[in-house]
């Protein structure tokens, strides 16, 4: 019976040692947790420095870029289809 108790105590010590060594290795792996720290010059809002897109925040650059492309496509569409709608309206009025 005493040997059984000693064996159980040894197993408990080994399992405690394993969990503590696992906890130590887990905390050591967190050395890269500071990846959110920014390096380089701070980013600014697009309206604070409108002539320097390299300093803009990423989300502002995306919004301005997509808006610019949208205006370019819409402007091109309106430029190349500018006379078609008015002629069709005139034809419809003349037929009545």
Helices (H) then strands (E): counts for the chain: 3, 0
For 56-73, the pLDDT digits (tens) are 999 999 999 999 999 999
What is the CA 67 to chain-centroid distance, rounded?
18
pTM for the model: 0.46
Give residue 90's pLDDT band: very low, low, confident or very high (50, 70, 90).
low
What is the per-residue pLDDT for 4? 76
Q: Round to whole Å and give the CA distance between 6 and 14.
A: 12
- For residues 40, 42, 43, 48, the Cα torsion angle rounded to the nearest 10 degrees is -140
For 7-54, the pLDDT digits (tens) are 877 887 766 555 555 555 555 555 555 555 667 888 999 899 999 999
Q: Round to whole Å and give the CA distance between 44 and 52.
A: 10
């Amino acid at each position: 019976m005493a040997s059984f108790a000693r064996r159980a105590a040894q197993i408990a010590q080994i399992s405690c040692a394993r969990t503590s060594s696992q906890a130590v290795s887990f905390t050591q792996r967190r050395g890269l947790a500071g990846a959110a720290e920014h390096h380089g010059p701070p980013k600014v809002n697009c309206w604070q420095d409108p002539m320097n897109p390299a300093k803009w925040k990423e989300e502002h650059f995306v919004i301005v870029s997509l808006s610019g492309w949208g205006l370019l496509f819409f402007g091109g569409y309106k430029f190349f289809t500018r006379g078609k709608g008015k002629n069709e309206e005139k034809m419809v009025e003349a037929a009545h």
